[in-house]
Protein backbone atom coordinates (compact mmCIF):
# COMPACT_ATOMS: atom_id res chain seq x y z
CA UNK A 1 0.00 0.00 0.00
CA UNK A 2 1.38 3.46 -0.82
CA UNK A 3 1.42 6.27 1.72
CA UNK A 4 -1.35 8.07 -0.20
CA UNK A 5 -3.52 4.97 -0.24
CA UNK A 6 -3.11 4.65 3.53
CA UNK A 7 -4.00 8.29 4.07
CA UNK A 8 -7.12 7.96 1.87
CA UNK A 9 -8.51 5.11 3.92
CA UNK A 10 -11.37 5.69 6.34
CA UNK A 11 -12.94 4.05 9.38
CA UNK A 12 -11.80 3.33 12.89
CA UNK A 13 -8.11 2.60 13.30
CA UNK A 14 -7.25 -0.12 15.79
CA UNK A 15 -4.12 0.35 17.86
CA UNK A 16 -2.60 -2.59 19.69
CA UNK A 17 -0.62 -0.66 22.26
CA UNK A 18 2.54 -1.82 23.98
CA UNK A 19 4.67 0.23 26.37
CA UNK A 20 6.38 3.59 26.04
CA UNK A 21 5.14 6.97 24.83
CA UNK A 22 4.53 6.02 21.20
CA UNK A 23 1.02 4.51 21.39
CA UNK A 24 -0.48 7.68 22.84
CA UNK A 25 1.33 9.84 20.29
CA UNK A 26 0.12 7.66 17.46
CA UNK A 27 -3.45 7.64 18.77
CA UNK A 28 -3.43 11.44 19.00
CA UNK A 29 -2.03 11.71 15.50
CA UNK A 30 -4.63 9.34 14.08
CA UNK A 31 -7.43 11.35 15.73
CA UNK A 32 -5.91 14.50 14.25
CA UNK A 33 -6.34 13.00 10.77
CA UNK A 34 -10.10 12.82 11.45
CA UNK A 35 -10.36 9.08 12.03
CA UNK A 36 -11.53 7.33 15.18
CA UNK A 37 -9.26 5.04 17.16
CA UNK A 38 -9.87 1.99 19.26
CA UNK A 39 -7.00 0.91 21.49
CA UNK A 40 -6.12 -2.51 22.79
CA UNK A 41 -4.08 -1.60 25.87
CA UNK A 42 -1.86 -4.64 26.42
CA UNK A 43 -1.71 -5.39 30.14
CA UNK A 44 1.78 -5.34 31.54
CA UNK A 45 3.00 -3.16 28.67
CA UNK A 46 0.66 -0.25 27.82
CA UNK A 47 0.78 2.81 30.07
CA UNK A 48 -2.27 4.56 31.51
CA UNK A 49 -2.17 7.41 28.99
CA UNK A 50 -3.90 5.42 26.23
CA UNK A 51 -6.92 4.79 28.43
CA UNK A 52 -8.31 8.22 27.54
CA UNK A 53 -9.15 6.78 24.11
CA UNK A 54 -11.88 4.19 23.58
CA UNK A 55 -10.08 1.03 24.63
CA UNK A 56 -10.08 -2.47 26.01
CA UNK A 57 -7.47 -3.72 28.46
CA UNK A 58 -6.42 -7.20 27.48
CA UNK A 59 -3.50 -9.50 27.96
CA UNK A 60 -1.36 -10.32 24.96
CA UNK A 61 -2.37 -13.94 25.51
CA UNK A 62 -6.07 -13.18 24.93
CA UNK A 63 -5.84 -13.47 21.17
CA UNK A 64 -9.52 -14.25 20.68
CA UNK A 65 -10.70 -11.32 22.81
CA UNK A 66 -8.33 -8.93 21.07
CA UNK A 67 -9.67 -9.92 17.66
CA UNK A 68 -13.27 -9.82 18.97
CA UNK A 69 -12.91 -6.33 20.50
CA UNK A 70 -11.34 -4.93 17.37
CA UNK A 71 -14.12 -6.36 15.17
CA UNK A 72 -16.79 -5.06 17.52
CA UNK A 73 -15.24 -1.57 17.27
CA UNK A 74 -15.45 -1.80 13.47
CA UNK A 75 -11.70 -1.78 13.01
CA UNK A 76 -10.25 -2.65 9.62
CA UNK A 77 -6.88 -0.93 9.76
CA UNK A 78 -4.61 -1.95 12.57
CA UNK A 79 -1.44 -0.47 14.02
CA UNK A 80 0.85 -2.41 16.35
CA UNK A 81 2.93 0.08 18.28
CA UNK A 82 4.89 0.27 21.52
CA UNK A 83 7.27 -1.88 23.40
CA UNK A 84 6.43 -5.54 23.97
CA UNK A 85 9.95 -6.62 24.80
CA UNK A 86 10.78 -8.39 28.04
CA UNK A 87 7.36 -9.69 28.99
CA UNK A 88 6.90 -9.54 32.74
CA UNK A 89 5.90 -13.12 33.00
CA UNK A 90 5.73 -16.27 31.02
CA UNK A 91 2.18 -16.56 29.75
CA UNK A 92 1.05 -20.01 28.72
CA UNK A 93 -2.68 -19.99 29.33
CA UNK A 94 -4.21 -19.30 25.95
CA UNK A 95 -4.03 -18.75 22.21
CA UNK A 96 -0.73 -16.93 22.02
CA UNK A 97 1.04 -19.33 24.31
CA UNK A 98 2.83 -20.99 21.44
CA UNK A 99 4.20 -17.65 20.41
CA UNK A 100 5.41 -16.88 23.90
CA UNK A 101 6.88 -20.30 24.16
CA UNK A 102 8.70 -19.62 20.95
CA UNK A 103 9.79 -16.28 22.27
CA UNK A 104 11.09 -17.70 25.49
CA UNK A 105 12.94 -20.50 23.82
CA UNK A 106 14.23 -19.08 20.62
CA UNK A 107 14.55 -15.42 21.30
CA UNK A 108 16.01 -15.08 24.70
CA UNK A 109 16.02 -11.40 25.27
CA UNK A 110 13.83 -9.66 22.75
CA UNK A 111 10.40 -10.18 21.40
CA UNK A 112 11.26 -7.69 18.67
CA UNK A 113 12.14 -10.89 16.87
CA UNK A 114 11.17 -10.78 13.23
CA UNK A 115 10.03 -14.40 13.23
CA UNK A 116 7.62 -13.90 16.11
CA UNK A 117 6.22 -10.64 14.79
CA UNK A 118 5.79 -12.15 11.36
CA UNK A 119 3.56 -14.78 12.86
CA UNK A 120 1.53 -12.26 14.88
CA UNK A 121 1.04 -10.11 11.78
CA UNK A 122 0.06 -13.11 9.67
CA UNK A 123 -2.47 -14.15 12.31
CA UNK A 124 -4.06 -10.69 12.40
CA UNK A 125 -4.18 -10.46 8.63
CA UNK A 126 -5.81 -13.86 8.44
CA UNK A 127 -8.39 -12.49 10.89
CA UNK A 128 -9.24 -9.85 8.27
CA UNK A 129 -7.31 -6.79 9.46
CA UNK A 130 -4.97 -4.65 7.39
CA UNK A 131 -1.80 -4.10 9.36
CA UNK A 132 -0.32 -0.69 8.62
CA UNK A 133 2.78 1.05 9.90
CA UNK A 134 2.35 3.87 12.39
CA UNK A 135 4.59 5.98 10.17
CA UNK A 136 2.33 5.38 7.18
CA UNK A 137 -0.51 7.15 8.96
CA UNK A 138 1.71 9.61 10.88
CA UNK A 139 4.51 10.39 8.43
CA UNK A 140 6.08 12.86 10.86
CA UNK A 141 7.18 9.91 13.01
CA UNK A 142 10.01 9.22 10.60
CA UNK A 143 12.62 11.74 9.57
CA UNK A 144 13.23 12.65 5.97
CA UNK A 145 16.71 13.02 4.55
CA UNK A 146 18.69 15.84 6.11
CA UNK A 147 19.67 17.24 9.50
CA UNK A 148 17.07 17.24 12.26
CA UNK A 149 18.59 20.10 14.25
CA UNK A 150 20.98 22.94 13.49
CA UNK A 151 24.25 21.02 13.53
CA UNK A 152 25.67 19.28 10.50
CA UNK A 153 28.37 16.63 10.39
CA UNK A 154 31.85 17.70 9.36
CA UNK A 155 34.06 15.91 6.88
CA UNK A 156 35.57 13.49 9.37
CA UNK A 157 32.19 12.65 10.84
CA UNK A 158 30.94 11.94 7.31
CA UNK A 159 33.57 9.23 7.01
CA UNK A 160 32.44 7.65 10.28
CA UNK A 161 28.82 7.87 9.11
CA UNK A 162 29.68 6.04 5.88
CA UNK A 163 31.63 3.39 7.78
CA UNK A 164 28.78 3.14 10.29
CA UNK A 165 26.09 2.53 7.68
CA UNK A 166 28.28 -0.07 6.02
CA UNK A 167 28.81 -1.84 9.36
CA UNK A 168 25.20 -1.50 10.53
CA UNK A 169 23.84 -2.81 7.22
CA UNK A 170 26.27 -5.71 7.46
CA UNK A 171 25.18 -6.43 11.04
CA UNK A 172 21.58 -6.30 9.88
CA UNK A 173 22.22 -8.69 7.00
CA UNK A 174 23.74 -11.09 9.55
CA UNK A 175 20.62 -10.64 11.71
CA UNK A 176 22.78 -9.42 14.59
CA UNK A 177 21.51 -5.90 15.27
CA UNK A 178 20.72 -2.42 14.06
CA UNK A 179 23.33 -0.06 15.39
CA UNK A 180 27.02 0.70 15.79
CA UNK A 181 29.23 3.35 17.31
CA UNK A 182 32.11 4.28 15.03
CA UNK A 183 35.13 6.30 16.13
CA UNK A 184 37.61 7.29 13.43
CA UNK A 185 36.72 4.48 11.12
CA UNK A 186 36.79 1.81 13.83
CA UNK A 187 33.63 0.14 15.12
CA UNK A 188 33.92 0.79 18.86
CA UNK A 189 30.69 -1.02 19.75
CA UNK A 190 28.24 -3.19 17.84
CA UNK A 191 24.66 -3.67 19.01
CA UNK A 192 23.23 -7.15 19.38
CA UNK A 193 20.51 -8.10 21.88
CA UNK A 194 21.45 -5.46 24.48
CA UNK A 195 19.83 -2.60 22.58
CA UNK A 196 21.05 0.85 21.64
CA UNK A 197 21.00 2.42 25.11
CA UNK A 198 23.25 -0.21 26.60
CA UNK A 199 25.54 -0.08 23.61
CA UNK A 200 25.88 3.68 24.07
CA UNK A 201 26.64 3.18 27.77
CA UNK A 202 29.38 0.75 26.77
CA UNK A 203 30.85 3.20 24.26
CA UNK A 204 30.90 5.84 27.02
CA UNK A 205 32.70 3.45 29.35
CA UNK A 206 35.28 2.42 26.75
CA UNK A 207 35.99 6.05 25.98
CA UNK A 208 36.28 6.92 29.68
CA UNK A 209 38.74 4.07 30.19
CA UNK A 210 40.72 5.30 27.24
CA UNK A 211 40.81 8.86 28.54
CA UNK A 212 41.81 7.68 32.04
CA UNK A 213 44.75 5.82 30.57
CA UNK A 214 45.87 8.22 27.89
CA UNK A 215 45.07 11.63 29.24
CA UNK A 216 43.52 13.29 26.23
CA UNK A 217 39.91 12.63 25.32
CA UNK A 218 39.61 10.12 22.48
CA UNK A 219 38.05 11.24 19.20
CA UNK A 220 34.27 11.63 19.36
CA UNK A 221 32.60 9.27 16.90
CA UNK A 222 29.04 8.71 15.78
CA UNK A 223 26.08 6.45 16.42
CA UNK A 224 24.56 4.95 13.27
CA UNK A 225 21.23 3.17 13.32
CA UNK A 226 19.23 1.54 10.57
CA UNK A 227 16.78 -1.34 10.25
CA UNK A 228 17.76 -4.90 9.42
CA UNK A 229 16.69 -6.02 5.95
CA UNK A 230 14.40 -8.66 7.48
CA UNK A 231 12.53 -6.20 9.72
CA UNK A 232 8.87 -5.59 8.89
CA UNK A 233 8.86 -1.81 9.16
CA UNK A 234 5.11 -1.78 9.69
CA UNK A 235 5.46 -3.32 13.12
CA UNK A 236 9.13 -3.26 14.03
CA UNK A 237 10.97 -0.09 13.20
CA UNK A 238 14.19 1.04 14.86
CA UNK A 239 13.52 3.95 17.18
CA UNK A 240 15.45 6.88 18.54
CA UNK A 241 14.29 9.44 21.08
CA UNK A 242 15.54 11.77 23.79
CA UNK A 243 17.12 8.85 25.68
CA UNK A 244 19.22 8.02 22.62
CA UNK A 245 20.48 11.59 22.46
CA UNK A 246 21.26 11.58 26.19
CA UNK A 247 23.21 8.35 25.68
CA UNK A 248 25.09 9.87 22.76
CA UNK A 249 25.93 12.94 24.85
CA UNK A 250 27.17 10.76 27.74
CA UNK A 251 29.39 8.90 25.26
CA UNK A 252 30.69 12.28 24.00
CA UNK A 253 29.71 11.42 20.44
CA UNK A 254 29.73 13.97 17.67
CA UNK A 255 26.33 12.96 16.36
CA UNK A 256 23.73 10.43 15.35
CA UNK A 257 22.95 9.23 11.83
CA UNK A 258 19.82 7.24 10.99
CA UNK A 259 18.27 5.74 7.88
CA UNK A 260 15.93 8.33 6.34
CA UNK A 261 12.28 7.31 6.44
CA UNK A 262 13.11 4.03 8.17
CA UNK A 263 13.84 4.98 11.76
CA UNK A 264 11.10 6.20 14.06
CA UNK A 265 11.88 9.35 16.04
CA UNK A 266 9.75 10.02 19.05
CA UNK A 267 9.59 13.43 20.73
CA UNK A 268 11.45 14.89 17.72
CA UNK A 269 11.24 18.40 19.20
CA UNK A 270 12.97 17.28 22.36
CA UNK A 271 15.49 15.30 20.34
CA UNK A 272 16.27 18.41 18.32
CA UNK A 273 16.52 20.65 21.40
CA UNK A 274 18.78 18.27 23.34
CA UNK A 275 21.02 17.73 20.32
CA UNK A 276 21.30 21.42 19.48
CA UNK A 277 22.08 22.34 23.09
CA UNK A 278 24.81 19.72 23.27
CA UNK A 279 26.23 20.54 19.84
CA UNK A 280 25.35 17.11 18.47
CA UNK A 281 24.17 16.52 14.93
CA UNK A 282 21.22 14.24 14.15
CA UNK A 283 21.00 13.46 10.48
CA UNK A 284 18.90 11.14 8.32
CA UNK A 285 20.47 9.62 5.24
CA UNK A 286 19.10 7.47 2.43
CA UNK A 287 20.48 3.96 2.71
CA UNK A 288 20.15 0.91 0.49
CA UNK A 289 17.64 -1.72 1.58
CA UNK A 290 20.38 -4.25 2.17
CA UNK A 291 24.10 -4.60 1.75
CA UNK A 292 26.82 -7.19 1.68
CA UNK A 293 29.97 -7.20 3.74
CA UNK A 294 32.65 -4.62 3.41
CA UNK A 295 34.56 -5.00 0.16
CA UNK A 296 38.17 -6.00 0.78
Under DSSP, is residue 192 helix (H, G, I), strand (E, B) or coil? Answer: coil
Cα diameter, the chain: 65
- Tell me if 211 sits within 8 A of 218, measured CB to CB: yes
Q: Which residues of 50-74 are buried (b: 16+ CB within 10 A; e: fewer)?
A: beebebbebbbbbbeebbebbeebe
Give whichever of 34 and 216 is closer to its own copies, judged by the CB atom: 216
Binding site for its own copies (CB under 8 A): 86-90, 104-110, 113, 166-167, 170-171, 173-177, 180, 183-194, 198, 202, 206-207, 209-210, 213-216, 218-219, 221, 229-230, 292-294, 296
Question: Least distance (Å) from its own copies to the CB of residue 174?
Answer: 4
Alpha carbon 111 to chain centroid, angstroms = 13
Asked whether the beta carbons of 237 and 231 are under 8 A apart, the reply is yes
**HSE, side-chain direction, 13 A CA sphere, residue 122:** 8
Task: Please give the distance of CA 39 from its chain centroid, rounded to a whole number.
Answer: 20
Please say which residue, 72 or 185, places its beta carbon nearer to its own copies. Answer: 185
Amino acid sequence: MTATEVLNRTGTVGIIAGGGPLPEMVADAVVATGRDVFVIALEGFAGKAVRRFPHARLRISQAGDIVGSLRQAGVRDLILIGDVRRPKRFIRDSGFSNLWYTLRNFDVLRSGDAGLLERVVRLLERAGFTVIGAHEIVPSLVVREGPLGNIRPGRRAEKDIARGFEAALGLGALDIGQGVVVVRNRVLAAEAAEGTDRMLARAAELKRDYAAEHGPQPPKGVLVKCPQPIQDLRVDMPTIGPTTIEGAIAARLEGVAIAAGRVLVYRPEEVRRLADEAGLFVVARPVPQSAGPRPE
